[in-house]
Amino acid sequence: MISQGNQEINNSYSFKFYKFILPVYFPLLLLSICIGILAPAIPAKVNWIGGSVFLIGLIVGARNLGEAVFAVPVGIIINKLGTRITTITGSIGVSFFALIAGLSPNGYILYFSIFFLGASLGLFGISRHSYLSKVVPIDYRGKAFSRFGGVSRIGYFIGPLIGGFSAKYINFDIPFYLVFVISAMATLLMYFISSPEEKYLIQENKNTSKKVTQIIKENKYSLGVVGTGLFILNLLRESRHIIIPLWAFNIGLEVDALGIIQSISSAIDMTLFYPAGYVMDKFGRKWTSVPSIILLSLAFSLISFADSYQKLLLVGLILGISNGIGSGAMLTLGSDLAPEDSNGPFLGIWRLISWSGSGLASPLVGTIGQFLSLSLASFSITGIGFIGIVFFVFLVPETLRKNHNP
């Protein structure tokens, strides 16, 4: 449902996707490249300084933990200040803490720099999510958020190649300095190019002041039951980023080979964002989310049999297809469920649930891998995925309106 305030915003301009390229999608691409660079760079640096499997899992998970811890306060701040200020602040934070991570001489400083880098990414991500939720009509949200997810996936494809090769052939700190530069470029772009619709959002947000507890009470099914499905799906998605590197090192692969596997997986992933958006707006949100979690769950059961570069690459391809099918699905679902009078705080809580699942993935996989085995870790993720399948098939509602006209 679109509020009167949002109707006024949507009616004040002719909705065209090209208007979002420079203020939204291109900065998102740059920040996604940064995340992609960090994918091989963080575990490689921890491994280089002598960290254990458990420590690798802990520090890789620090980014998502930082996003999760600050998600709700970020949502409240967005409602007070508007999305432009918070988006730019988030990008500045990514630059600063990437620089600190590159300079960090030990695991302690690296952990906290990655933690606050994650918090900064959360500030950026929730701000863009809230912005699109308010200015994009519901019948176009599947396309808008699948493109949001697709642009992210392009960055995840480019980034690991840069991170993997720069870490191996130059220095393990270089990827973090590259993130500093690229994020700074995104900051400058957003500072000089803004969307005119954001001024309406600031005025509308000033009139809302619901407490977080009230928002949770009013949306307990969306945040509780549907949120459980979200939590599990994101745990599966994030588990890819820790299991693949750990298994690659386990079978003796170098960091550049890991970067290739991650980039090719992302390449397959990103090719599916456009059809995913079309399906969501034409048939419904569950037509992408259900197949995605089913295939992800099955793919993790194959990792233990990947005893060579070629087999691990094949698993990476399957994981890429599985994730690509659900491109933008959770962003769209969250936007559909978000109440218009408390959009920012609701999406902050939604992201908290999402990132809590993501944040649990690395410590869970790292702990099981360290004290039991990586094979058991992958099969454990498969088991959790089957629980998620039950939620998405039977408990998560279809949120696309039946009278839509995409």
pLDDT in tens, 143-172: 888 888 888 878 878 888 899 888 888 888
CA distance 113 to 107: 10
User: Which pLDDT does position 213 carry in this prediction?
Assistant: 83
> Total domain count for the chain?
1
96 in a domain, yes or no? yes
| The pLDDT value given to residue 231 | 95
Domain assignment present for residue 78? The answer is yes
Check residue 140 and give its pLDDT.
Answer: 80
Say how many C-beta atoms besides its own lie within 10 A of residue 146's C-beta. 28
Residues 377 and 369 sit within 8 Å (Cβ to Cβ): yes
Q: Tens digits of per-residue pLDDT, 214-269?
A: 888 888 898 999 999 999 999 999 888 788 888 888 888 887 788 788 778 878 88
Q: Is residue 401 in a domain?
A: no
What is the band of 384 on the pLDDT scale with cuts at 50, 70, 90? Answer: very high
67 and 357 in contact (C-beta within 8 Å)?
A: no
Asked whether residue 1 is assigned to any structural domain, the reply reads: no
Domain contains 404: no
Give the mean model confidence (pLDDT) for residues 133-138.
Answer: 80
% pLDDT > 90, the chain: 27
For residue 237, tell me if it sits in a domain: yes
Residue 404: predicted pLDDT: 45
- Residue 224 burial (C-beta neighbours within 10 Å; 0-12, 13-18, 19+): exposed
Q: For residue 400, is it within any domain? A: no
Model pLDDT, residue 62: 87
- In-domain check, residue 406: no
In this model, does residue 371 exceed pLDDT 60? Answer: yes
Q: What is the dihedral of CA 186, 61, 386, 129, to 10 degrees?
A: -30
* pLDDT beyond 60 at 204: no
Give the per-residue pLDDT at 108: 85
User: How high is the pLDDT of residue 15?
Assistant: 57
Residue 129 pLDDT: 83
pLDDT at residue number 183:
96
pLDDT tens digit string along 321-335? 999 888 888 888 888
More confident residue, 16 or 351: 351
pLDDT at residue 63, as a whole number: 86
Mean pLDDT of the chain: 83
pLDDT of 12: 40
Sign of the torsion angle spanned by Cα atoms 342, 231, 129, 122 = positive
Q: Band of the pLDDT at 197, cuts 50, 70, 90?
A: low
**Residue 375 clears pLDDT 60, i.e. is over it:** yes
Which domain does 135 fall in, by range? 20-395
Q: What pLDDT, in 10s, does the model give residues 290-309?
A: 999 999 999 999 988 888 88
Per-residue pLDDT, 98: 95
pLDDT by residue (tens digit) across 33-84? 999 899 888 888 888 777 777 788 788 878 878 887 888 888 888 877 778 8
- pLDDT tens for 390-405 read 999 999 988 876 444 4
CA–CA dist 352, 193 (Å, integer): 29
- CATH code at position 306: 1.20.1250.20
Residue 232 has a pLDDT of 94
Is residue 4 scored above 60 in pLDDT? no
